[in-house]
Every structure is written in structure tokens, then in C-alpha cells.
Amino acid sequence: MDFKAFLKHINRYKWILILVPLVTLCITYFMVKNLPKQYSSEAQISTGLVDQSKQLATGQNQNMDYFKTSQQFANIIEKIKMKKIMSILSYHLILHDLENPKQPFKKYSDKLDSIPADKRGQLVSQYQEKLIKKETLTLSDKGNNDLYNIVASMGYDEAAINKNLTINRGDGSDFINVSYVSPNPALSAFLVNTLTTEFIQNYGQDVNFNQNNSISLLDSLLKKKEGVMNQKNAALKNFKMANGVLNLDKQSEIAYTQISQNEDRKAQALRDIQANQGAISAIESKLRGKDAYTGGNVVSDNREIVDIKNQLNVANNHYIDGNFKVSDKKKIDSLTNILNAKTLRNSDNNIVDPTASRQNLIQQRANLDVAMNQAKSSIVSIDRELAQLKAKYNTMVPFDAGIQNYERDADLATKDYMDALNRYNQTRTEQNIGVKLNIAQVGLIGTPEPSKRLIYIALSGFSSFSLCFIAVVALFFLDNTIHNSKQLINATNLPVIGSLSYVNREDRSLKSIWNDTEKPNYIAFKNLLRSLRLELTNVMDADESRILGITSLGTGEGKSFIASSLAHAFAMTGRKVLLIGGETQQVESADTKELAVRDNFETFLIKREIHTQDLITVLNKNKDNTSLLEIQSSKNLKAGFDVLRKGFDLIIIDINSLQDISVAKEWLMFTEKNVAVFAAGKALSDTDKELLVYLREQPGFIGWVLNKIKLNEKSKS
């Protein structure tokens, strides 16, 4: 954004920005000068929603839901604003004024004052009847007297009260503040006290009514749930009695446990039988063996000992019968020694009595046989018991699905009943310990409120200034007109080589303008024209260009006047100038350097002859804008311009505006340098933006000449 241009724009409208707020301040001052004093009164309602002491007394949960609490406060505030409560308040206000005509809160309105005194008693009765019935005051209440309009005329209707009534919750507190501002302090106090009292009364009645309805409904629902529960439990009981089932789950569990125990006993008995059979086989193997443990060697030794003993007995008998012969004695001694040796060896090798060991084995085998027979007998009894338990368990299976359905229905019915009972008890509890609204502070008659005159005056001045400033800024951003060179460069991305001020010619000739040394606008125009002449001279002399084309985006830009002015300016430097087109004027004398009109350019193209007049020669163009290429071929046109180049130092062509794009393009084919004239105070149209593309493509385009600049704008830029 161009801040300099913005500041200039603001400066242009500075008086509007100053005068409008001043006028607004004055008007506001006189309007609020006689404002009546305002009195405010505030009453507070205690809700008990966040009061910790009340929550402890009622046993409520200390972990409060702040969102729920805020919602409860919002509901209470909205209920205070209900039409029903406001209508009750309106009845109280109008009844106060009707019943106390000497001390009303407000002066009687024209509508109320026009009612005769004897008929005001009827109004009191009608309003009291509506107050008792707590009917809402609406526009439909029409009869002999328009009740709503009378209340509205006194400013006691809902819309009028709400303008000065404020109901809000203190910051995080347990209180709802109800405040009202009016010119009468008694009215303010009466209104807030009446509103809070009536609301608390109606709120309590509504809550009790709703809770009683809820309790009645829950009680009816509880009885229905109880009947269903008893019915389902009775059905379960009858099913159990009909099928001899006390507790199917417990009985089936016991039966299954017994089956498992008997199967374990049977498995243990089978293991005992197998173990006993193995032990018996081992004992029998030992009894049949020949080893020392079984007495094989012992038997052999015993037999030898027995034989020796027998032989010793025979020898003793023979020794006695043979009269004790020495030989018989030796034989006895020899057998005795042998017997002793055998006995000693047998006692050394066999510490345990083999006979006793064998007897023990035989006894163990007998015991094992008895145990094995007992185990086999127990298997029979176990199988019999298992069969009975399995039969009993199988008889329980068909009842399982049926009893589960009965138990499920009974459980659901019991659960529904308990839920209904909990809701019933909870509602009873809430009715007893629920939210109880109380007036924590009544509204009192207070002192006047601080005057708001200065605030109103300041707001009026600030708002009027803001509106004016916004309007001026909007005009700046919505204004697409171009007033200076910088704006033109930014808008077109093309250079500006010079600027010319606006000249009010008043039908004066260029000579008189040039010779005038008194009027500032003529002097400024000549200085700017000299500056433009210098820029063009530097550019054209750099490559010895001689043909300069002057065009514009549209008509009315002043290009013809600039073409004539440049021709005059270059002639003042002693250059011989040919002007094709431009402003045509009659020449008074040949030595005046005035613009002269002699021939047409089309005539020159045909005859190739030109009569030069002093330093400036003028060739008119065909006013019909005939196409050059339709008159002569491009080759002949170039030859004609070559002739002109030799005869003049500078050729200035006033080319048609680019709106005649076909004719302008033909003339631009034969120019060496080009400039375009743009009038200040004009905006670029969509067509102009399309023509800019063509200008950028011209290799000989030098830049813009900004024309018709106001002198004050030029001096500030």
C-alpha cells in the first residue's frame, strides 16, 4: 500500500473526519443533558448448588460436576425470564400503581389516564384474577379494556422490563444476582424483590408438582415391576417343586463331584490289584528259587546234617551194642567232628532262619491275595455306585435349559424391580433434600448510579469518527483512479517519462500560452513540457530516431494537444518539425512558429511533394481514419517516410487511440519511438488492461506521458 497516497487521501477528507464527530458530540450532549438519575437495586437468590455447608448437610457428593452445575444455573436463570414469571411481575407492578394512585411508581400513561376512575376498579379485578390464575399476559387478552396495551403503555411489559433487568450468576458463587435500574429507587427495589419472591414460590410449586408426578408414576411402575418379579419367582419355584429340584446347580455339582471321586476310587483299586498281582508273582518266584534267601543251600546242608546225625545214632547204637569198641568210638568221634563242622558252617552262612523267611513270604503272599480279592470286590460296588450317580446326573440335564430360562427371567425381573426401587427412593430423597431456593439478600433502595452522560458522548464521538474513518478508508481502497506517476507505474508496470499539468486554455493559442508569464498554471505547463522535451531528445538522439508516435488508450486523453505542444516546443529549439495530425490551427504569418495547415498526408503520399512552412509543417490525417495500407503499399509508405526523414529533424505523428487498434497498428509500423498519453484521474478499464499487453510488446515504446495533473496534486507528489 502507498502510505503517502493514503495520507494524502486522509488529508483530503480531514474536515469530514473532524466536523462530523464534533457535530455528533454536540447533538449527543444536548440529548443526554437532561437524562434522569438512575437507581439500581439488587436481590440475591441462594441455590445451594455449590454451597459446601448445605451439601454436607444433605450428604451430596463433594466431587461436583461443574458442567452440570453450570447447566443447572443456566436453567434457573432462563426460568426466571419465562413469560409466565414476567407476566406475574407485570400484574404486581400495574396493580401497585392502580391501587396506589397517589404514589405510583410511574406517572400514568395517556392510555391509563384516559380510563375513568370508576372503571379502574374493573381493571384491578381483571388483573387480580389473572394473577391468581397465573395466566400469561399476551396481545390476545382483549376485551372492553386492552390489558396488555395498558401494561405496555406504563412500561411494565416483558420487553420494557428486560431492557434494564440483569440476571446472572456471580463468578463461581452459589448466588444468582437479580438487578434492575430505573429512575425510581422504590420501583427498582419492588421489582427485584417481587420477581425473586414470585419465582421462588412458583419454582418450588413446579418442582414439587413434577416430583409428585414422578413419584406417582414410579410408584405405579414399582408395583408393576414387583408383580412381574413375584410372578417369575413363583414360576421358578413351581418348576423346581414339580421336578423335585431344590437347587439344580448345587445338586448337579455334588453329583458330578461324587462321580469324579468314585472314578478316582475305581482307578485306585485297579492300581492296587495290579500292584498286588506283581507282588504275588515276585513272592512266588522267590519261593521257587534255589538261592540262599529261599533256603536252597540251607536245605542241602540240613540234609547232610540229618544224615550225619542218623549215621551218628547208628554208630552210637553200634558202639553200645558192640561193647564199646575203640573203633566204634573213633567212628563216633569222627562223625561228631563232622557234624560240628557242618553245624558251624551252616550257622555262619545262614544267620536268619531260612525257614522263618520262607514262612514270612508265604504269609505275605496270603495277605496280598486277600487285598487283591478285596480290591476286585470293591470295583464291583464302585461300578454300581457310578452307574447310579450317572443316571441321577443324566436326569438333571433335561431340566437345566428350562430352569436356566426361569432363573434368567426371575433375575431380570428382580433387577428391573430393584432399579425401579432405587429410582423411587432417589426421587423421594431428592424431594426431601433437593435444591431449595432462598432469598439471600433482598433488594434495597440505593443511591443514584453514576451518570453515563460522558460515556454516551464519548461513544457517539468515537463511533461517528470510526464510521467516517472507515468510509474514507473504504473510498481509498475502492478508488482505482490514477493521479500520479507512481500509481501509473504500479498499475501498468511501464515507465513514465514525463508529466504535464492541466491547462484551461480558454480558446487560447499555443503562442499566447507560451508567451504568458503571469498565470502559474501556464508557467508550470511550460516547465513540464520542457522537461518532457529533454527526456524525448535524450532518448531519440541516442539512436538518431526521428519519427515519434503519440497515442493513448482511449479518447479524451489530450494526446493531440500534447502532439501540437511538443511540435511547438521542439521548434523553439530550432528544429525543423513535421506534425502529422495534431490540433489544426490557421497560421497568421510565416515567421510566427505557429502550427500551420497546408496539405493532407494522403496527398503527400500520392504526389511526394511537401511545402514546408518555417520550422513547423503540418500534414492533416484523413478524418475518416482510412487504412494506410489501403492507400499505398507498405513499401511505398516506407519510401514516403524516408523522404520525410530527409526533410525534417523530427516527425511527430498524432496516432489514433488504441481503441482504433487496426488503424493505430498501421501507423505504429512506421514510427521509431512511441509514447502513450494517460489522463490523470482516470481508472484502467478491462479493455485498457488488454491494450497494455500490446504496448509492452512494442520495441520502440518509451513510456507514459501523464497528462492533466492538477497543480496542487503535482506540488504534493
pLDDT the model gives residue 394: 64
* pLDDT, tens only, 516-556: 777 888 888 888 989 999 999 999 888 888 889 999 988 88
Cell digits of residue 550:
503519440
Percentage of the chain surpassing pLDDT 90?
Answer: 10
pLDDT the model gives residue 586: 40
* pLDDT, tens only, 626-672: 677 777 777 888 888 888 888 888 989 888 888 888 888 888 888 88
φ, ψ of residue 172 in degrees (nearest 5):
65, 10
What's CA 36's distance to the chain center, in Å? 47
Least confident among 71-85, 228-242, 385-399? 385-399
More confident residue, 222 or 414: 414
Kindly state whether residues 205 and 152 are assigned to the same domain: yes
Kindly state whether residues 568 and 640 are assigned to the same domain: yes
Is pLDDT at 281 greater than 90 in this prediction? no
Kindly state whether residues 514 and 466 are assigned to the same domain: no
Query: Residues 245-265: what's their mean pLDDT?
Result: 71
Cα four-point dihedral sign 115, 121, 124, 130: negative
Judge whether 208 lies within some domain. Answer: yes
**Cβ-proximal residues to 509 (8 Å cutoff; 6+ apart), any chain:** 585, 594
**Cβ-proximal residues to 694 (8 Å cutoff; 6+ apart), any chain:** 658, 661
Burial of 712 (0-12, 13-18, 19+ CB in 10 A): exposed
Task: Indicate the average pLDDT of the chain.
Answer: 78
Residues 609, 612, 616: CA angle, nearest 5 degrees: 135
Least confident among 7-16, 337-346, 348-357? 348-357
Query: Residues 237-259: what's their mean pLDDT?
Result: 67
pLDDT the model gives residue 613: 53
Judge whether 225 lies within some domain. Answer: no
Is pLDDT at 436 greater than 90 in this prediction? no
Percentage of the chain surpassing pLDDT 70?
Answer: 81
d(CA 380, CA 705): 132
pLDDT the model gives residue 574: 83
How many domains, in total, are found in the chain? 4
Q: What band does 207 get if pLDDT is binned at 50, 70 and 90?
A: confident
pLDDT the model gives residue 601: 55
More confident residue, 60 or 454: 454
Least confident among 98-102, 154-158, 248-252, 686-690? 248-252
Is pLDDT at 585 greater than 50 in this prediction? no
More confident residue, 134 or 284: 134
pLDDT the model gives residue 22: 92
Q: How many CA atoms lie within 13 A of 456 on its CB side?
A: 14
Q: Output the domain CATH number for residue 272.
A: 1.10.287
Least confident among 60-74, 190-204, 363-377, 583-597? 583-597
Judge whether 128 lies within some domain. Answer: yes
Kindly state whether residues 201 and 296 are assigned to the same domain: no
Least confident among 94-98, 112-116, 149-153, 611-615? 611-615
Judge whether 227 lies within some domain. Answer: no
CB-CB neighbours of 244 under 10 Å = 9
Per-residue CA distances from 650 to 511, 544, 600, 618, 666 (Å): 20, 10, 18, 12, 20
Judge whether 197 lies within some domain. Answer: yes
d(CA 566, CA 561): 9
pLDDT the model gives residue 191: 93
d(CA 579, CA 648): 10
Is pLDDT at 463 greater than 60 in this prediction? yes
Kindly state whether residues 515 and 369 are assigned to the same domain: no
Contacts of the segment 586-594: beta carbons below 8 A, 24+ positions apart? 587/613, 590/614, 592/511, 593/511, 593/568, 594/509, 594/510, 594/511
pLDDT the model gives residue 426: 75
Residue 567: give the domain boundaries: 481-716
Kindly state whether residues 264 and 345 are assigned to the same domain: yes
Judge whether 232 lies within some domain. Answer: no
d(CA 226, CA 490): 89
pLDDT the model gives residue 401: 59
Quickly list H helices, 144-247: 147-153, 158-164, 185-242
* pLDDT, tens only, 695-710: 888 888 999 999 888 7
Q: In this structure, are strands 682-683 and 650-654 parallel, antiparallel, or unpaired? A: unpaired
d(CA 531, CA 523): 13
Residue type, 270: L
* pLDDT, tens only, 10-35: 888 889 889 999 999 899 888 887 77
Q: What band does 483 get if pLDDT is binned at 50, 70 and 90?
A: confident
Cα four-point dihedral sign 423, 427, 433, 434: positive
Kindly state whether residues 557 and 659 are assigned to the same domain: yes
d(CA 563, CA 364): 153
Judge whether 651 lies within some domain. Answer: yes
pLDDT the model gives residue 594: 46
More confident residue, 253 or 316: 316
Kindly state whether residues 121 and 187 are assigned to the same domain: yes
3-state secondary structure of 604: helix
Are 41 and 444 within 8 A, CB to CB? yes
Kindly state whether residues 166 and 296 are assigned to the same domain: no
Judge whether 89 lies within some domain. Answer: yes
pLDDT the model gives residue 57: 44
Q: Output the domain CATH number for residue 644.
A: 3.40.50.300
d(CA 252, CA 19): 104
Query: Residues 100-129: what's their mean pLDDT?
Result: 87
d(CA 151, CA 140): 13
Query: Residues 478-507: what's their mean pLDDT?
Result: 82
Kindly state whether residues 61 and 193 are assigned to the same domain: yes
Q: What is the DSSP letter of 546?
A: -
* pLDDT, tens only, 166-203: 999 877 788 889 999 998 999 999 999 999 999 998 88
Is pLDDT at 610 greater than 70 in this prediction? no
Most trustworthy range by pLDDT among 17-21, 233-237, 416-420, 452-456: 17-21
Per-residue CA distances from 471 to 346, 464, 560, 621 (Å): 146, 11, 38, 48
Kindly state whether residues 541 and 398 are assigned to the same domain: no
More confident residue, 74 or 61: 74
pLDDT the model gives residue 119: 83
3-state secondary structure of 630: helix
pLDDT the model gives residue 508: 63
Is pLDDT at 609 greater than 70 in this prediction? no
pLDDT the model gives residue 715: 42
Kindly state whether residues 277 and 385 are assigned to the same domain: yes
Helix axes 3-12, 14-32, angle to 10 degrees: 50
